[in-house]
Each structure stands twice: as C-alpha cells, then as structure tokens.
Structure 1
Amino acid sequence: MSLRLGLPIAAGVLIADQNTKWWILNGLRLPEIGQIPLFEAGPFGLDLTMVWNRGVTFGLLSGEGTWNHVLLALMAVAIAAFLIRWMARAENRLTAIALGAVVGGAIGNVIDRIRFGAVVDFVDAHAWGWHWYVFNVADAAIVCGVVALVADALFRPKAGPKEGS
C-alpha cells in the first residue's frame, strides 16, 4: 500500500522538477540571461537566478574533481534505493508521501548530475538583502519530505503496549 502512495508522489516530483528545469534551460534560456527578477514585496523578493550546483543540497560537498559528480550521483542512487525500501515498509501515509518527495527529488538531481555534471538550481528567495541558497523543485521536495519525516517521528502518538503484555 505504501509504495502505491509514495511512488506516484516520487514520479510527480520528478516530472515537476525535470519540466521546470527544461523550461529554465530551454524556454527562458536562463543560462544566457543569468537572472530574472520576479517580484519584490517590501524587503522580500524572488528571482530566477541560474546556478550550476556541483555539490549536494545547498551546494554542500561541491568540488571540481573529475569523479565528484559521479560519486555524488552514486551516493544519491544508493540513498534513493534505501528510501524506496523504507517506503515499502512505511507504516503510515505521511511517511510514504514524505519518502516519495525525497526519492523524487533525489532522482531529479541525479538526472541533472548525469546529464550536466551539475544540478540546475534557479529559485532565489531573499529578504532584507540576504539571499538564501539558490534551489530547485527537487531540493524543495527533499527538504519538505525530511521536515515531514522529522515531524512525524517527533509528534506521532506512540503505540501503547500490546494487550496481554
């Protein structure tokens, strides 16, 4: 049951991620433009800013080594396989959905790493002159999925002792 819920979520995240990246690269041609301001609301703003992320989420572990993107892609595939196995055993809907979001995001970024040697990042949110890391749909899904998993682990009511124990 949990795979029937989690895998479509993973597929939806993957499709949304790859379609937005296609639009950024081929529709808007953001690599040629560099940045497109979307809106400003007081101290808050949102831009499309082209970044080739050679690291993992938020640019961590970035490196220029020849094998860096291959090793990161292999790590992500191994983690995705572990998460799919966890998803198959998920005990509730939230866990299956959250794992689906993480898996879909991880696979989306692996596809970029294989195709380009880096991940396409483009969402640039900022406030009071401070810019958060530039990210993409896959990164957002991964973060939301992890937050949901942590919240579920912290706040889900614990099962009581079994009858007769």
Structure 2
Amino acid sequence: MNRNVFITLLIAFNIAIDQISKKIVRSNMIEGARGEIDIIKDYFQLIWVENKGAFLGMGSDMNPTLKLIFLLILPTIVLGYVIYYIVKTKDLDRTSLIAFCCIVGGGIANVFDRIVYGQVTDFFFIKITDTIKTGIFNVADLSVTTGMIMLLFSGVVSKKKNKNEIA
C-alpha cells in the first residue's frame, strides 16, 4: 500500500472511531454522573461530560481569546506540522509512523469537536482503587496516549538497537 494512503487511512480511522463513539454517547446517554453506565462495576464506567477545556478540563476557565489560541490555533498548527513531518520523513520506522498517525487522528478529532461543538465530549472513566483513577476521557484521548506510548517504546527500542550496533 502507498505510504501516504496508509497515513491518510490511519488518521481517518482514528477520527472516525472517535466521532462515531461520541455520536453514540450523545444520542444514547444522559449528560453528567446521573447518566453513568457501569461496564465493569464501578471500575470501568461510561459517564458523559462535555469538556470546555483541554486535558482533564484544564483551561476551561480561560478567557475566549486564550482558548482560541491554546485550544484551537496552536493545536492546529502543531497537528499540521506533524502531518508534514510524517509525510516528508520517509525513514520513520513503522511503529513511529503509526504512533504519529494515532496522535494526529486523536488531535484532529478533539479539535473538530472544539470547532463544531465548542467543547469536547468525554465519557470513559477507569477506577483501579479509590485513589488510582483516571479523569473522564474519550477515544481521541486514548489514541493520543497510545501514540505517545508507542513513540516512547519506539525510542527505547531504537536506542537499544543503536547501542547494540555500536558495540
């Protein structure tokens, strides 16, 4: 498969899965904690919230101009640069390429929500213990986080590989 087609399809897949999941949540749940659905007791729940900020609601109380800059313009520029980087950098290993596509797809999906709805739909909640739990997040956040973990993994493997080649 052509590399650019692969990049486009993977980014589009991440956006589509996120947007479909958000549409299902908006159509079938009640917003807020009263509408929570226990998937695995209270350890894995669906709780629909609308996030007007960034990660875990940070920045939700910023003035509109700062929100525009930090939650729309700056992320759009960064996402555009990452797309340019992955298209132009032909020697990226497969893991890094997939990781960047996940990050871009998730980022675009959340920016799309901010443009269209003025906020981001979040709905996943995981609790391991009473003190170890996540904030409420969505599929796009999961894509970005997975991409970041894959990049870290790829970097560690690459360093070990280079170290072994030098030795």
- TM-score bucket (shorter structure): 0.7 to 0.9
Residue pair 1:54, 1:69 contacting (<8 A) in 2 also: no
Q: Which runs of 5+ in 2 are unaligned?
A: none
Pairs within 5 Å for 1:122-141: 122-130=123-131, 131-141=133-143
Question: Normalising by the residue count of structure 1, what TM-score does the alignment of the two structures yield?
Answer: 0.84
Partner of 1:158: 162
Partner of 2:145: 143
More strand by share: 1
**SS of equivalent to 1:146:** helix
* Structure 1 range deviating more: 126-135 or 10-19: 126-135
Cα distance change on mapping 1:94 and 1:2 into 2, 3 Å: farther
Residue pair 1:70, 1:114 contacting (<8 A) in 2 also: no
Identity over the aligned pairs, expressed in percent? 24
**SS of equivalent to 1:24:** helix
Cα distance change on mapping 1:36 and 1:68 into 2, 3 Å: farther
Pairs within 5 Å for 1:104-115: 104-115=105-116
Cα distance change on mapping 1:104 and 1:17 into 2, 3 Å: same
Q: Which runs of 5+ in 1 are unaligned?
A: none
More helix by share: 2
* Structure 1 range deviating more: 110-119 or 17-26: 110-119
* Structure 1 range deviating more: 145-154 or 57-66: 57-66
In 2, distance between residues paired with 1:116 and 1:64?
A: 17
Residue pair 2:59, 2:67 contacting (<8 A) in 1 also: no
Cα distance change on mapping 1:145 and 1:13 into 2, 3 Å: same
**SS of equivalent to 1:31:** coil
1:92-112, Cα deviation, whole Å (9 max, x unpaired): 211111111001000000011
